[in-house]
């Protein structure tokens, strides 16, 4: 502790034996480095790792294990998800998904935690949803919500998301959907 003398009652402050014992304990048990380490690994979500992110996941209500779609299927432009491909590029959909459970890395889990936390405080407006998308996918390309004008909206991505990001977007249920509004997803990457 920095000012150990302030914690000693005044009636004991002049006892050389007691003060030397307290000083020795203070030097041996200085918690400053442990407090800094706890803050960095648990409390600060930007730098948290492992157990700290698991705590944050419980706080916001998301699991580290996601179901990741491992296979793209033949699909058409009007499909509402991000796993459709054209002819000669993907197999026909057989009626069941080829998915697997995947334990997210710290970076992927941190992104999922941010998505849920931002969704928890969102008011469901287009401005709020666009703020969530630009925060989550900063530096990767444009991502925004398009109001289709018929009680539907489309999450538009101008980049190709990773498999983990597709699962966060589509399978985790953390991106907000205002009540009574249909949601679809679109990748409009130019590359």
| 48 neighbors 110 (Cβ within 8 angstroms) | yes
The pLDDT of residue 175 = 85
pTM: 0.65
Q: Which of 182, 177, 178, 175 is nearest to 132 (CA)?
A: 175
Q: How many residues does the chain have?
A: 191
Give the phi and the psi of residue 34 in degrees, each rounded to 5: -65, -40
Give the phi and the psi of residue 4 in degrees, each rounded to 5: -65, -30
Q: d(Cα 41, Cα 146) in Å, to the nearest integer?
A: 37
In order along its 191 residues, the chain shows pLDDT tens digits of 666 777 777 777 788 888 888 888 877 877 778 889 999 999 999 999 999 999 999 999 988 888 765 555 555 544 555 555 555 555 555 555 555 677 888 988 898 898 889 888 888 888 989 988 888 888 888 899 998 889 999 999 998 888 778 878 887 788 888 888 888 888 887 75
């Amino acid at each position: 502790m920095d000012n150990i003398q302030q914690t000693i009652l005044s009636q004991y402050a002049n006892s050389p034996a007691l003060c030397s014992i307290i000083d020795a304990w203070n030097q041996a048990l200085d918690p400053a480095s442990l407090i800094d380490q706890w803050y960095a690994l648990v409390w600060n979500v930007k730098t948290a790792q492992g157990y700290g992110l698991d705590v944050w996941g419980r706080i916001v209500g998301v699991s580290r294990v996601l179901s990741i779609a491992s296979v793209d299927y033949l699909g058409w432009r009007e499909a509402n998800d991000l796993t459709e491909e054209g002819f000669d590029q993907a197999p026909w959909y057989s009626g069941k998904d080829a998915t697997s459970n995947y334990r997210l890395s710290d970076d992927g889990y941190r992104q999922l935690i941010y998505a849920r936390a931002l969704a928890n405080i969102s008011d469901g407006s287009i401005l709020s949803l666009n703020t969530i998308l630009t925060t989550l996918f900063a530096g990767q390309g444009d991502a925004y919500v398009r109001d289709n004008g018929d009680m539907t909206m489309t999450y538009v991505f101008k980049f190709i998301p990773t498999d983990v990001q597709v699962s966060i977007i589509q399978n985790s249920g953390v991106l907000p959907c205002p009540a009574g509004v249909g949601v679809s997803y679109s990748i409009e990457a130019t590359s």
